[in-house]
Amino acid sequence: MAPALINANPIVYEKKERPARIRQPGDNGFDEYAPELIDQLEIFEHIRDIKDPEHPYSLEDLKVITEDAVEVDDKRSYVRVTFTPTVEHCSMATIIGLCLRVKLMRSLPSRFKVDIRVAPGTHATEDAVNKQLNDKERVAAALENPNLVDMVDECLHPSYE
């Protein structure tokens, strides 16, 4: 028998529309050399399509992450993502966090420091999870585990399409 699901029946929220970024008016206004800073939306684009480890929905569908939960400072090379597990005792929280971290690790320049945390008050063992997710050694160790890596890769797959 398959192990029981932690949250068998999650609420699926309606997705926000994805408006295309407003281009600079006309091609003439396009400045070849002006840098476009990495911003909230860009980070969110990277992680919104990650699949939930349990369900065939994306993290955005389940409101585990929202655009507002991303803080970014390009100049100081700092990103913080705060995510909200669907239920308080969700044991998948660490997996979700790991997925977020791996995806951002692969998508952001190496200068960035990535901080992943559970939203305060939404998880039973909040501190433990946070500690685990931001401990380099433990993340590295987790990524040595082929089962975990497979699982993470499966979750990340939709976000590359």
What is the nearest approach in angstroms of other proteins to the Cβ of residue 160? Answer: 5
Q: Which is nearer to other proteins, 16 or 21 (CB)?
A: 21
Binding site for other proteins (CB under 8 A): 21, 32-36, 38, 42, 45-46, 106-111, 160
Q: For other proteins, give the closer residue by CB, 89 or 106.
A: 106
User: How far apart are CB 42 and other proteins at their closest, in Å?
Assistant: 6
Centroid of chain to Cα 49: 9
- Considering the complex, state which of residue 39 and residue 126 has its C-beta at the smaller distance from other proteins: 39
Query: At closest approach, how far in Å is the CB of 75 from other proteins?
Result: 13
For 1-147, list the strands marked E by DSSP.
70-73, 78-83, 113-118
In the bound state with other proteins, the residue whose beta carbon lies nearer, of 19 and 109, is 109
Which pair of structure tokens corresponds to residue 17? 């529309």
Nearest partner of 78 among 131, 114, 41, judged by Cα: 114
Report the Cα–Cα distance between both ends of the chain, in Å, rounded.
32
* Rounded least distance, CB 153 to other proteins, Å: 9
Tell the smallest beta-carbon distance from residue 35 to other proteins (Å). 3
The long-range contacts involving 138-147, CB below 8 angstroms and separated by at least 24 positions, are 139/98, 139/101, 142/98, 143/102
| Closer residue to other proteins, CB minimum distance, 107 or 125 | 107
CA distance 36 to 50: 24
